[in-house]
Amino acid sequence: MILSVSRRTDIPNYYSEWFINRIREGYLYVRNPMNFHQISKIDLSPRIVDCIVFWTKNPLPLMDQLDELKDYKYYFQFTLTGYGKDIEPGLPDKKKEMTDIFRRLSEKTGKEKVIWRYDPIFFTDRYTPEYHIKAFREIAKTLQGYTDKVVISFLDLYAKTKKNMKGIQVEHLEDSKLFEFAAALSKIAGENKMRIAACAEETDLSEYGIERNCCIDKELIEKITGYKITAKKDKNQRSECGCMESVETGSYHTCQNACRYCYANESDEKVSSNCRIYDPQSPLLCGIITEEDKITERKVKSFKEEQISIFDIMGSDKRL
């Protein structure tokens, strides 16, 4: 099983105590967002969890507790953009704090386990292509040697995103200008010894040296774990998404970053309401279990490939 921690909220930033308690207890509960009273119990045994993929804009609260994960394999998707407080009001200063935190995490875990995300990208009268290119270049220079890869994506206007971005006039960039912009980012990434990939984009940018990304990356997970995995493409994600199947651990309407482009929060009021019932000792993140809830143990297993293929045997013979 691959554990996603989390696409729905920033667990390393705000709920690291809860997550570490869940690791110690060996299980957690996840409420089904499509069926409120359906709760899944997820086994967190190291023999079942092949890899944990963390998604965060600030891993600092978790960093001092990484020793608790010594029996697990993991990597981080670390979002670090050029937006100001008008777009990302809940985050510390990028230059003064966040780039240093990124480097410290890289030194602690290894640079292959920290992927830089500069996304989502959108354009306004303030956040012009020129602005993004300058910000991307400055961050890339600062992170050179601390990551092998940067991921970009362009804003998708989901219903919650439209609501959260009310009052922000997003400007459309014609294709020729968009390709020019993408080429500029690719050049900067290369100059700073990073691969660059695009996340869930319909447009093929390979002509500009930009790969198609897999956030839940089978190749990277096999490299980190040291064994082949049998995970398949996640059928619950968009067709453009290259992610492998994973188990989500987070809850919607709980992220306190308050980013204006957020697709996971309905409103600040709903986030505040959920945060008031946060209990780091509870198996359920920001939730209360009621008599109406039905808890079912989800069937999960390791994706570790048990059988050795003829190609592996031939490869071993060659090494001998």
Q: What is the pLDDT of residue 235?
A: 80
Beta bridge partners of 53: 4, 75
- Residue 259, token pair as written in the block: 């980013």
Higher pLDDT pick, 283 / 202: 283
Res 316: pLDDT: 44
**Calpha distance 244→235 (Å, rounded):** 9
Evaluate if residue 200 carries a pLDDT over 80.
no
Query: Cα torsion for 301, 22, 263, 234, to the nearest 10°?
Result: -10
Query: Can you say whether the dihedral through the CA atoms of 34, 37, 38, 39 is positive or negative?
Result: positive
What is the Cα–Cα distance from 264 to 7, expressed in whole angstroms?
A: 8
CA dihedral 146, 79, 219, 75 (to 10 degrees): 70
CB atoms within 10 A of CB 134: 13
Torsions phi, psi of 172, nearest 5? -80, 140
- Residues 217-245, mean pLDDT to the nearest whole number: 88
Look up tokens 């640079």; give the residue: 111
The C-alpha atoms of residue 115 and residue 143 are separated, in whole angstroms, by 11
Residue 57 structure tokens: 């804009």
Element counts in the chain: helices (H) and strands (E): 10, 11
Residue 237 is predicted with a pLDDT of 77
- Structure letter (DSSP) for residue 209: T
For 167-196, how does the pLDDT look when each residue is reduced to its tens digit (9 = 90+)? 999 999 999 999 999 999 999 999 999 999
* pTM attached to this predicted model: 0.93
Give the integer Cα–Cα distance in Å for 194 and 151.
10
pLDDT tens digits, one per residue of 18-71: 999 999 999 999 999 999 999 999 999 999 999 999 999 999 999 999 999 999
Mean pLDDT of 98-111: 98
Coarse DSSP helix, strand, coil percentages of the chain, rounded to the nearest 5 percent? 35, 20, 45
Q: In angstroms, what CA-CA distances link 104 with 110, 127, 194, 255?
A: 10, 28, 18, 23
